[in-house]
Amino acid sequence: MTSSNRTTCQPDLLWDGTAFTSNVALESDAAGTVARVVSANEVEGAIQLRGRAALPGLVNAHSHAFQRVIRGRTEHRTANQHDSFWTWREMMYSAALRLTPEDVYDASRMAFLEMALSGVTAVGEFHYLHHAPDGNAYDDPNLLAKQVVRAANDVGLRIALLRVAYARAGFETPANPQQRRFIETSPDVYLRNLDGLAGELNAPDKMAWTGVAPHSVRAVPLNYLKEIIEAANARRFRVHMHVAEQPAEVSACIEEYGRSPVALLSTEGLLNERFTAVHAIHVTPKAIRQLADARAIVCACPTTERNLGDGIVPADKLFAENVRVSLGSDSHVQIDLFEDARALEYQLRLQRMERVVLANAADAGPAALAARLFQCATVNGAQSIGAPGGAFEQGRPADFFTVDLDDPSIAGASAEDLLAAIVFSASRAAVKDVWVGGKQIVVEGRHADQEEIVSRFKALQKRLWS
């Protein structure tokens, strides 16, 4: 049922945070927020989502949208005898240096389209392309950030534009000309540009907002780091930072500061509940306790981390210390948060040679493990980027997706084991409808602008790589 001020949808099943319930309807108001979840008997003329289960929208907490252009272009050996994150990075730079503002828009829109088609309704964009290809600033220093935001909003997604601070190539490391589009050497310049962007994006509809993203300890020296995080805290902005992704990063931090990245952040008072440590792979038990004590969040990106050979996020140890873990698709070698959720568990199974590693021993129900992983992809992600969604609660936005209960990947699942079937087995093709703020952006597995988005992206790829 759609009226001038209410929209009511009735799926066969609705995830309420603990179980799937039937014979209920989701009612949203004119502002696109959840008004109530009500018995279907109390409403008339609801939009019937037959054969569908509805779940809160997924939140992708870590994205580099422009990297969508290099998918499939790095899966080969280079001249190096040992290919790694660092050799992959050089190939990524070669693409980053050639993108025009309109290219950034087209690449980003393609990445965000894929997210929408897989049930994502909000994204945290870790954005570090700031300057023109020659390294000079655009007249508008936030031109490329705005292109990314425009792409997300044109697809219909919410976006936290996590503006990256990048000041150097590394400790006692010569300037890298391939990073010339990233570098802002002065924290004053960075904060001025951040505030300019925030003034344009932080709108009441919560479709786009800003956050602070010091790239890493190797890219931002301590004084710069402290200044911008203090400014972020004063503004109540979220802070995201690559932390301990690579052993070389940890070693360099110890060489420069005598402390590991997490120890540095902790002892300098830079961790709090609004801080998200992206990756946090090479961390000690002490570092995990420091993250827990600060109530910081970790964003794991398992698909990218295994693609780059980064290592395995110690999610079992993070869970044991009650550290919230969110999920991101990072380099977009694949965009599927369910794949990232299940990989969080599966990688530990391979490492420990046992099953059901991340289950809470106090809750042995059939959906218990799946519910923990689904929370990483929804509630924890929303908390990480400051998104308003993540659950069907009154006053939260009506951001949700549906899965086809007859899709071959999950057909036959009961209400009790459906969430486990979705998290561990669902194909992306099972996602059929996506709503953001009470507005439908994906219908029967397709986006209204899908053909044009794909066509423009194909033309971009031909120009870049022919």
The 3-state DSSP composition of the chain as helix, strand, coil percent (nearest 5) reads 40, 20, 40
- Size of the chain, expressed as the number of residues it contains: 466
Backbone angles phi, psi at 189, to 5 degrees: -65, -45
Number of Cα atoms under 13 Å in the Cβ half of residue 68: 25
Backbone angles phi, psi at 354, to 5 degrees: -150, 170
Whether residue 44 sits in one domain with residue 65: no
Element of type H or E holding 29 = strand 24-29
Task: Report the alpha-carbon distance of residue 454 to residue 407 in Å, rounded.
Answer: 24
**319 in a structural domain:** yes
The total number of structural domains in the chain stands at 2
**Residue 86 pLDDT:** 74
Task: Report the alpha-carbon distance of residue 23 to residue 448 in Å, rounded.
Answer: 30
Structure tokens at 349: 């199974």
Catalytic residue among 330, 336, 340, 404: 330
Task: Report the alpha-carbon distance of residue 71 to residue 303 in Å, rounded.
Answer: 13
Backbone angles phi, psi at 124, to 5 degrees: -100, 110
**Residue 81 pLDDT:** 64
**Residue 214 pLDDT:** 98
Alpha-carbon dihedral 224, 226, 228, 229, rounded to 10 degrees? 150
How many CB atoms are closer than 10 A to CB 321? 13
**Residue 187 near residue 228 (C-beta atoms within 8 A):** yes
Quote the DSSP letter at residue 57: P
Whether residue 62 sits in one domain with residue 37: no
**461 in a structural domain:** no
**462 in a structural domain:** no
CATH number of the domain that residue 410 is part of: 2.30.40.10
**Residue 360 pLDDT:** 84
pLDDT in tens, 250-302: 999 999 999 999 999 999 999 999 999 999 999 999 999 999 999 999 999 99
pLDDT in tens, 376-420: 999 999 999 999 989 999 999 999 999 999 999 999 999 999 999
Number of Cα atoms under 13 Å in the Cβ half of residue 375: 18
Quote the DSSP letter at residue 134: T
**Residue 4 pLDDT:** 53
- Regions of the chain short of the pLDDT cut 70: 1-4, 80-81
**Residue 3 pLDDT:** 53
**1 in a structural domain:** no
Domain boundary among 364, 385, 406: 385
Task: Report the alpha-carbon distance of residue 294 to residue 271 in Å, rounded.
Answer: 6
Catalytic residue among 240, 279, 332, 447: 279
**Residue 319 near residue 372 (C-beta atoms within 8 A):** yes
**Residue 104 near residue 454 (C-beta atoms within 8 A):** no
Whether residue 348 sits in one domain with residue 442: no
Q: Which residues contact 17 (CB under 8 A, 6 or more apart)?
A: 391, 392
**Residue 362 pLDDT:** 75
**Residue 38 near residue 24 (C-beta atoms within 8 A):** yes
Q: What's the pTM? A: 0.96
**456 in a structural domain:** no
Q: Which domain holds residue 341?
A: 58-385
**Residue 420 pLDDT:** 97
Give catalytic status of residue 279 as yes or no.
yes
Task: Report the alpha-carbon distance of residue 229 to residue 309 in Å, rounded.
Answer: 30
Whether residue 224 sits in one domain with residue 290: yes
Whether residue 219 sits in one domain with residue 342: yes
Residue for token pair 């949203």? 28
**Residue 89 pLDDT:** 82
**Residue 229 pLDDT:** 98
**237 in a structural domain:** yes
Whether residue 410 sits in one domain with residue 328: no
